[in-house]
A and B are shown apart, each in its own frame.
Chain A
Amino acid sequence: MKVVTGVVGNDIHVVANRLIDLSLRARGYEVYNLGVNTHLEEFFDAVVETGAEVLMISSLNGEAEGWGREVRLLKSRYKTLDDVVLMIGGNLVVGSGDPEEIVARYKNYGFDLVCHQVDLNTGLDMLQELVDQRFPA
């Protein structure tokens, strides 16, 4: 299973990105890590280029909110991304907010899986569950 991952926007917070990389590999995924400061187009291009089944975007500084709104529009310009599992995680708002409301908002942006301030391994377990559903062996 191939995963493209990275930190969206002008966000240099690298620590969690490395740990996600390490954990995904440990779980047997083939990881294409675009690192920090990655723009939305670069993520989608990488998914097309690698044929990845999962796109996992992370954000720490809260600017995902601005980028999230553009996901549907941008995704509609690509023809082959309908089956890709879209996941976002990290700290998804600037300041604080109601977690349920945040999850609903991001699902509305087009994400299948939204992990706002969720522990890394819990988030990866959630991903596994969804992947097993969508791509039955």
Chain B
Amino acid sequence: MSLLQEEREIILSNEYVDSFDFAEVAEFVSNASKELFISHHFARKNKMLVQPRGGFPTYQQQFALYEYFVDANVDVLPLTIDSNTRLNDYATAKKMLRLSEENDMDMLNGYPLVTHGYRTTRKMITHFDKPVSLRHGTPDARLLIETAIASGIFEIEGGPITYLLPYSKNFPLDKAFLYWKYVERVCANYSQLNEPINRESFGPLTATLVPPSITIVIQLLEMLLSLEEGVKSFSVSFAQQGSMNQDIVTGAVLKKLARHYAGEIDCGDAAINLVYHQWMGAFPTNQDYADQLINLSTVIAAMVGADKIITKTRQEATGIPTKEANAKTVADTQYCLRILNGLPNVVDEEEEEMLTLQVTAIMEAVFNDPADTLWRKVFNCIKNGIIDVPFSPHIINQNEMITIRDAGKNIRIIERGNVPIPDRCYEYDKSRCDLSKDTTSIVNDIIHDIGIMQ
């Protein structure tokens, strides 16, 4: 028995799992409907796929949510997991699910997949026969993704960096890398049985003034960590940043460099997709304005040439959205995409060059780290601040980089910390901003720049 299989048996003999039948699950994946595989849709469709967010505690609520989404002409269904399951606290998830079922009141902020189990969940997934994307935020997702794939969920979001640095203060980063290595290998192995399982990275990170170079570097690194384990379909992603031009430039550079670096490790045969998140920062409380923002995001996603868009709702500022509000965004986004025709081709060569220079300089610094494997190189570079994510709560993050918006609302780096931004790019970024102010005024500008859409 391989080491991986030994580890799988340990993970799956958890007291909260109702006997995992490896052979039956492999049989199920081999014969599963092609419709369930988002990789199959990416390969065939020439339209941008629309995917909302959403997860409710009970089976019945989740089923009802999916019915609303299907009526609104959804392309990809979400399964958002509750926070207890994300932190591997299956006992609390189980208790809260029972309370939710008995009291007709939501005690969980998502669907407790491990608690429901794969035999139950698979009935729902196969009933709708649409691709489902697993949305979570789990540093140790080993049991969760085994349960997901066994349920017929063939897209797994997340990664060791993007699911840790925005969400955790002190979960050990080195452990996260090893736990995600397991996820990649399991996804790679199942991919040999039918269409590929798609892995997706979470580009928005902290959604707070993250410069595009940092976003792209982390997308590329999580892609490489996934492809090197044998994953054959991968989505890089980013969220609306606040400037349409910067989004278009980011999309172009991300696509170009993703293909480049995949080729460098002889994984050019893997499918690479681009995913765009509607605005992930603070939303306006005025719901009509929120709808305007959502439509604007859709237009930019089209300009960027995204393969999939992930939607928000008009209730974003108030809390977990109702299924009606959620389905409305799906219908609106589909309509907006249908009438968006004859888009101009916008290319900003100077900005593309500057961003490419930044990204390649950071990537080179990562590859030059003396560690023996890629994940250790990346670990070291986060630890020593070569990769620095603004507004990450994690203790390992350096927090030396400072960013601000210029007059065009582009995110610019005004303090690079230990990130090897080339001098030329650094001067270019700073020249776009008014730095003659004192720090108090700059802090006020940053507060304003974060709340730009409110």
Contacts and interface: CB of A to CB of B under 8 A. Distances in A.
A120 B393 contact: no
B369 to A, nearest CB: 26
Given A22-B443, A23-B439, A15 B169 contact: no
A35 B168 CA distance: 11
A26 B391 contact: no
Given A18-B399, A19-B447, A12 B393 contact: yes
B393 A36 contact: yes
A26 B393 contact: no
A121 B438 CA distance: 13
B395 A26 contact: no
Given A14-B391, A35-B169, A26 B208 contact: no
Contacts of A23: 439-440, 443
A120 B443 contact: yes
B208 A121 contact: no
A15 B166 CA distance: 11
A19 to B, nearest CB: 6
A26 B392 contact: no
Nearest to B395: A35
Interface in B364-398: 390-393, 395
Contacts of A25: 439
Contact of A18 (B169, B391, B395, B440): B391
Contacts of B170: 37
Interface in A81-137: 120-121
Contacts of A14: 206, 391-393
Q: Which among A14, A23, A26 has the highest number of chain B CB atoms within 10 Å? A: A14
Interface residues of B, number: 20
B169 A121 contact: no
A12 B392 CA distance: 10
B402 interface: yes
Given A35-B393, A35-B395, A121-B444, A26 B438 contact: yes
A35 B208 CA distance: 17
Nearest to A19: B443
Contacts of A37: 169-170, 393
Contacts of B390: 18
Interface residues of A, number: 16
A17 B390 CA distance: 12
Given A36-B169, A37-B393, A15 B443 contact: no
A15 B391 contact: yes
Contacts of A26: 438-440, 443
A22 B393 contact: no
Given A26-B439, A35-B169, A19 B446 contact: yes
Interface string B432-448: 00000011100110110
A23 B399 CA distance: 14
B20 interface: no
A26 B438 CA distance: 8
B440 A121 contact: yes
B450 interface: yes
B446 to A, nearest CB: 7
Nearest to A26: B439
A67 to B, nearest CB: 17
* 7 closest Cβ pairs, A-B complex: A26-B439, A14-B393, A36-B393, A37-B169, A23-B443, A12-B393, A15-B391
Interface of A: 12, 14-15, 17-19, 22-23, 25-27, 35-37, 120-121
Interface of B: 167, 169-170, 206, 208, 390-393, 395, 399, 402, 438-440, 443-444, 446-447, 450
Given A22-B439, A23-B443, 19 more contacts: A12-B167, A14-B391, A14-B393, A15-B208, A15-B391, A17-B393, A22-B402, A22-B443, A26-B438, A26-B439, A26-B440, A27-B440, A35-B395, A37-B170, A37-B393, A120-B443, A120-B447, A121-B443, A121-B444
20 contacts: A14-B391, A14-B392, A14-B393, A15-B208, A15-B450, A17-B393, A19-B447, A22-B402, A22-B446, A23-B439, A23-B443, A25-B439, A27-B440, A36-B169, A36-B393, A120-B443, A120-B447, A121-B440, A121-B443, A121-B444
